[in-house]
Each structure stands twice: as structure tokens, then as C-alpha cells.
Amino acid sequence: MKAQHFVVVLLLVSNITLFSVFLDVFVAAASADYTCFERDDLLPFDSKRLKEDLRENFLGQHIASNVIQRAVSSFMTDRNPNKPLVLSFHGTTGTGKNHAAKIIARNVYEKGENSKHVHLFISEHHFPHTEKLHFYSAQLKKQIHESVSRFPRSMFIFDEMDKMQPQLIDAIKPFLDYNACVDGVSFHKAIFLFLSNAGGNIITGVTLDFWRKGINRENIWMDSKELEIKITENIFNEKNSGFSYSSIIDEHLVDHYIPFLPLEMKHVRQCVLVEMAHMRITQNFDLADQVAKAMPYFPKEERVFAVKGCMSIRQKLSLYIN
């Protein structure tokens, strides 16, 4: 009888142990699923949300806003794109290239630019030493490949693209191609953004020509005076730019070369008002006018276009507040 009781107790203990093991496995699996879910912060894409975000927060760039909205919306709603989305932003300092990249990121990912899937490379910061180009190229290839293999909808932002060495640009090239599949990984759903000052003088020149002829800046579009073609030609012929020595341009791997026009005083004024909101300062239109007028403009006599765009607005505003 005692032996029977012993066997029953042993079976009960065994069952409890088995259940405990099963529970541990289940919890571990659930935790893994939760981790994956947490890591996948992709937003359900909404083209109307992107359009509204660009309209409200992307000041004075009607061409860039229009092209970005259409290009990103088309790409994000395509279930089977035949290549990654590759956009190249061009314009002088302070015209909003970085800001546009942030707007795209926050319409693709829940955490926006802070998402683990958004990878920013700044040429002179991340690749400062020419003697290490071979090492940089290998690391860059590895990071892009690993990122997309883990998460196909990864985003890569390359700032100061005009200062990037040709060898590094060519390291990116295989991932941009049509039907790109590198070592068994498809890159069709990845997004590549190139930010550059290259072509800025061409864009400024076209804008000035329109102004001198009395034509509103808002009447400039991508096909105005073959603007996009002029940008690509300028980039291709610029001997100090890594772009000119890379095969990315002549193999047509960039989907759109997007011009960022120089900003006018009215746009700078809007930037001041936005900065006031960010700094939680009561909006003051007279103060906004003061700050906007204190910024440098060109041509020198007419003071039409902002030399630095909306850069240094916070610093200038702080002087007036203090």
C-alpha cells in the first residue's frame, strides 16, 4: 500500500515538473514573440497622414513635398516593389533636407527617426579617414545586409553624400539595383535617402532667374528649365564630389533627384513661429518678424532668399528672448 502511495506521489511530482517545464517554455516563447513585436515598430502606412504632415510641418518646399508624398506613398503601398526606394535630396544648407528625412521616418515607424530600423551615416563623422576606406566599405556592407535581413523595411540615411568617397558609394550600389538580392537577402522594401549640398548652386540659380523675371517661386516645378536634369548633370560633372566617380548616377539607380529651393523671409518667419511652439513660448508675430528680418539674405541689396534657411533659428530667437 505504501508502495502504491509512493508511485502516486512520484507521478504527481513528475506531472508538476513537466507542467513547470512546459510553462517555462511557453513564457519564453511568448516573451520572444513580444520582443519581436516590440522590435517591429512599423506603422500601418497612411498616405493621407504623410500628406498632412508634409503640409503642416514642411515649410516652403512645394516641389520636395509633392515628390516625396507621391514617391513614398507609391512605394509603401506596392506589395512587390522591383527595387528599393532611393531618393536624393539636393539644396543649400538649411533648406530642410534633414527635416524631410525625419518626416518620412515618423510616417513609416512608430518611433520615427529613433527607430532601430533607421540608420544614419554622416560622411565626415562615420568615415573620416581615407586610409580606412576598405574597412569602412566592409563594415557598411555588413551593417546594411544584416539590418535588411533582420527587417526588410529598413531605412538608411546618408548625410553629406557629396563628401562621401566613391569607394563607399560603390559599396552601397549592389543594394540599390533592380531586383537586388544580395547573398539571399532581398532589398526591395528598403529605403535609401541621400542628403547633399551638391546641385545647390544650380537650384539657387534657377530660383533667382525666376525671381528676376517676376515669376513666383511657387511656379517652379521639377520640369522647370529641366531642373532635375541640371541637378544630375551638375552632380556628375562636379569633380570634388564622390557622386561623380560612382556608377550610381549613370546606371540610373536613384529614383528621384529632389530640389530643395532657397527659402524666402516668409518661410523663415514660419520657422520662427514653429520654434516658439517647440520652446513653449507664447507665439508673438512681431517677435517672429524681428527674428526673421535679422537673418542674412541674398542678393545683398534685395534680401530675398535666406542664406542659411531655417538653420540657427533657435539660437537667434534665444537672443531676443533673453
**Can you tell me which residue has the cell 532601430?**
116
Residue 170 φ then ψ, to 5°: -70, -25
Say which DSSP state 80 is in.
Answer: S
92: annotated binding-site residue? yes
Using CA atoms, how far apart are residues 279 and 301, in angstroms rounded to an integer?
33
94: annotated binding-site residue? yes
204: annotated binding-site residue? no
35: annotated binding-site residue? no
Angle, CA 98 vertex, CA 311 and CA 195 arms, to 5° = 115
Decide: 206 and 125 in contact? Cβ < 8 Å.
no
95: annotated binding-site residue? yes
Secondary structure element (H or E) that encloses residue 88, with its range: strand 85-90
CA nearest 196: which of 121, 90, 101, 96? 90
98: annotated binding-site residue? yes
Residues 6 or more apart from 192 whose CB is under 8 A from it?
Answer: 84, 85, 86, 87, 155, 156, 158, 172, 175, 176
Say which DSSP state 246 is in.
Answer: S
E-strand stretches of the chain: 85-90, 118-122, 155-159, 181-182, 185-186, 191-196, 256-259, 297-298, 305-306
Residue type, 119: H
Residue type, 137: S
Ramachandran sector of residue 199 (left: φ over 0; alpha: ψ -120 to 50; beta: rest)? left
Secondary structure element (H or E) that encloses residue 118, with its range: strand 118-122
Using CA atoms, how far apart are residues 20 and 276, in angstroms rounded to an integer?
58
Q: Which residues are annotated as a binding site for ATP?
A: 91-98
Q: Which residues are annotated as a binding site?
A: 91-98
